[in-house]
Structure 1
């Protein structure tokens, strides 16, 4: 007899496979050039970060061993929180094991059914899930549209506005200065998911005096940063006022009932912040690689056939359309030696499937040139 759960799983799996949306894990093959990851500055495997990981493990051990509120909060965690506050200007900070967990904990703890949250149309899934679990009402404004946000805020003030700094699937940046001014005008808070921006947000803009590119407390009332992108390691943090962080410490179930982030990883994240501040050439190299890719693609034979999104960030989406087609193209590129992201619905709207190409400071000019050649061959 087939259990009802087995039947449900089989039916759903077939539906996803037929629609070209079945997600499966893969082990990235040796020798492939990876243009799919979010390690924008190449820190995940650089020698200084490897040394920091060894040093952190020797000093603190490899595991936190307990919840932060039991015995899992160490000097490594405290030092990282202080560095993040210094980098952004926020009063206080709270560490989590992932960006999804940080967003979920923040939103589920802060809001309830009495609240209405205003969010950008393309806000991350972790924010959407957090709002659903909190019971708060959700109003969404058109993507990066200040007038759309203002129309909603005029009816709801005061409330909270949520946006990303850099949008993970489109690669464009939110108009943070305008959104911040709008929120101040309406007595609302601005919460910024800075996952894909922290460390590289400015790309020549908003670079702090300490050399770190980041959204700051004068813009965002609350800010979420993650360590798995520009910092090249793991974990996340919520930054805000002391009142906000104290409230999360006392009430956020994700924080209270989870083993703390590994102190060794906290040590690596701190080392990454210091390394970025001391190595401005990383951003220069990343900027050059972005410019090179865009120039080569726009000169290619397929540029008029497949739109390259208007993005000045490391995230360079090529809009393909059909889910099945984007998977086939990604497979072709893999056979040619390149790994790229094949992004399908529901992550992006139906009919807007894309190759999500992400650039790193460690990619060489030759690798980028060869990628564009492979794209031309695969897309033509």
Structure 2
């Protein structure tokens, strides 16, 4: 609706009200009215291998708590100790008054563990990617990003103003074709995930690094889902023995390291530059003392107990074998993330509801995030008994749906 506004020069129509789009957004209300709304579920306990939601105890197969450390007594004690010593908040950015010894300890130990000269800790993984990309790139540069890269990477590229080009998912040949068309005098950065969060597949990093070196492109790997999982927890670059050939690695602490925050790792020169140019660092309050201490404690546990990543991977392999035997189609993955393809929003949500009734919590994923699927993930804390119960639930609820889709359904959801 527009209104007539009187001015000295006559009557003009008022501009459109941006609030009018609220009424036009009905998708969530439609799902709520149909009893199908699956989001913002209020959990009534912490996220271990089980979780309480809606009055039910559920096997949690939707968490990124890969090492199962969110409830570890050592992590909780570190959080309490930091709160008692430093208080509940740093009340400012690290650039000014929010820097503590804990932040610097975490940076030093993380850099040493991942084999990079230096690290810079920020308040979230999302802010890390935004800050790094916006600080590093200019509108004169080109940034080449995998089609399935995380939203934080896409948003960071947009924020930078650089000319963004997407290449087909995990396709180094496609990357080469894009690079071939760039002007010789353009700065260029290639951006990929180490482990893709929806597919669970690992980046073909050997091929990507070769193409980057051939065309003089720098490389950033977001290893949010590789840290704590691959190569004894050291991540995707270490998994392939390519740590020295990856320019920048970004990570988050909200997954394997049982906390909240993120970091970028690279050369000392790169980290020094980002410390003084990444606006998401300079203009955000720093990680709280409790979050910083939690991540540091989890990192130390990971270093001391390298069997944790192996257990998470073994548990996922146990599920994959069970799915194969039960005739359940799964995406091609060798990580703790296993996507189960579905068709259509309504069917996906109904299957999710029935799995909850059977005592299993997974994540229903719909476009535009990805093609319809149930995103499942497994941790070092799961027991074989729990995993077998999960496979039985998938066999009962997911397999019949997938059989009805064949031959249209694919064994891959990429």
Please report the TM-score for the alignment, with normalisation by the length of structure 1.
0.90
Q: Distance in 2 between matches of 1:285 and 1:213?
A: 16
Q: What's 2:24 paired with? A: 11
CA distance in structure 1 between the partners assigned to 2:349 and 2:232 by the alignment: 31
> More deviation in 148-157 or 357-366?
148-157
Name the structure 2 match of 1:361: 380
1:112 partnered with 2:138:
yes
Paired residue for 1:56, among 73, 76, 82? 82
CA distance in 1: counterparts of 2:386 and 2:144, whole angstroms: 41
Determine the C-alpha separation between the residues in 2 that align with 1:123 and 1:204: 21
CA distance in 1, matches of 2:207, 2:123: 31
Inter-partner Cα distance in structure 2 for 1:86 and 1:204: 13
Q: Does 1:185 align with 2:214?
A: yes
Structure number with the bigger relative contact order (C-alpha 8 A, sep ≥ 6) is 1
Alignment partners' CA distance in 2, 1:79 and 1:60? 15
Q: What's the offset of the Cα at 1:89?
A: 2.5
What is the number of residues matched between the two proteins? 370
Query: In the aligned structure 2, how far is the partner of 1:331 from the partner of 1:142?
Result: 33
Q: Tell me if the contact between 2:123 and 2:281 (Cα under 8 Å) persists in the aligned partners.
A: no
2:187 counterpart of 1:161: no
Shift of 1:203: 6.5
Cα distance in structure 2, aligned partners of 1:228 and 1:171? 17
Q: CA deviation at 1:247?
A: 2.0
* Cα gap change, 1:77 to 1:204, in 2 (>3 Å): closer
Task: Mark the CA change 1:148 to 1:16 in structure 2 (over 3 Å): closer, same or farther.
Answer: farther
2:169 counterpart SS class? coil
Alignment of 1:271-310 (within 5 A): 271-300=297-326, 302-303=327-328, 307-310=329-332
Mapped pair 1:24 → 2:43: no
Q: How does 1:57-206 map to 2 (within 5 A)?
A: 57-156=83-182, 159-202=188-231
CA RMSD of aligned residues (A): 2.6
Q: What CA deviation, in whole Å up to 9, does each residue of 1:238-280 have, x standing for no partner?
A: 1122222222222222111111111222122111111011112
* 291, 316, 336: which one aligns with 1:314: 336
Once residues 243 and 282 of structure 1 are traced to their aligned partners in structure 2, the CA distance between those partners, rounded to angstroms, is: 33
Closer, same or farther in 2 for the Cα pair 1:215/1:23, shift >3 Å?
farther
The gaps in structure 2 that reach 5 residues or longer are 3-15, 44-52, 401-414
Q: CA deviation at 1:202?
A: 3.0
Displacement of 1:159:
1.4
Secondary structure (helix, strand or coil) at the match of 2:128 reads helix
1:256 pairs with 2:282: yes
Query: Conserved in 2, the CA contact under 8 Å of 1:108 and 1:131?
Result: yes
Gaps of 5+ in 1: none
Take 2:241 and 2:21, find their aligned partners in 1: how far apart are those partners? 44
Alignment CA distance shift 1:33-1:70 (3 Å): same
Say if 1:226 and 1:206 are closer, same or farther in 2 by CA, change over 3 A: closer
Contact persistence 1:96–1:235 (CA under 8 A): yes
Change (3 A) 1:206 1:136: closer
Structure 1 residues 106 and 83, CA gap change in structure 2 (3 angstroms): same
Cα gap change, 1:14/1:184 in structure 2, threshold over 3 Å: closer, same or farther?
Answer: closer
The verdict on how the C-alpha distance between 1:201 and 1:226 changes in structure 2, with shifts beyond 3 A counting, is same
